[in-house]
Amino acid sequence: METIKEFKDIFEKVKAATRLSVEDGNRLIRSKNLVELGAMANFVKKRLHGGRIHFTHSLNVNHSNICVLSCKFCAWAKTKKHPEAYALTVDEIERL
Ligand code: SF4
């Protein structure tokens, strides 16, 4: 893969399925070279899963939007008396 230049030494380990060192990890996590990081990640993904793509579906139930704090950046929380305030019951959460 000609696109790997900065991390050529690490990519050799990746191709050989050799465990990376702590120093390798530190270099990768500090890098802003997302093109090479992505290319190496895609190489491993293809080796493990071929062309298959997997998706995750999750549900995050916000059981209440009532909050006693008033963080200035928050556009979500409501006071208890606000007309859009809600607090779901356990039964309502289970239905969701
Ligand atoms: S961010 Fe919003 S919901 Fe979170 S503590 Fe602040 S006001 Fe409450």
> DSSP of 31-81, one letter per residue?
---HHHHHHHHHHHHHHHHTT------------B-B-S---TT-SS-B-TT
Helices 8-15 and 34-49: angle between axes, nearest 10 degrees: 10
Most informative mutation of 65, 69, 70, 79 for ligand 1 (most atoms within 8 A of CB): 69
Do 44 and 65 fall within a single domain? no
Is a pLDDT exceeding 90 seen at residue 12? yes
- Ligand 1 atom with the smallest distance to the CA of 74 is 2
Taking only the tens place, the pLDDT of each residue in 17-47 is 999 999 999 999 999 999 999 999 999 999 9
Q: 64 is in which domain, residue-wise? A: 59-96
For ligand 1, whether the C-beta of 68 sits within 6 Å is no
Q: Is residue 42 part of a domain?
A: yes
- Per residue in 52-74, pLDDT (tens digit) is 988 999 888 899 999 999 899 99
Residue 24 belongs to some domain of the structure: yes
78 in Cβ contact with 67 (< 8 Å): yes
Q: How many whole angstroms from 94 Cα to the centroid of ligand 1?
A: 24
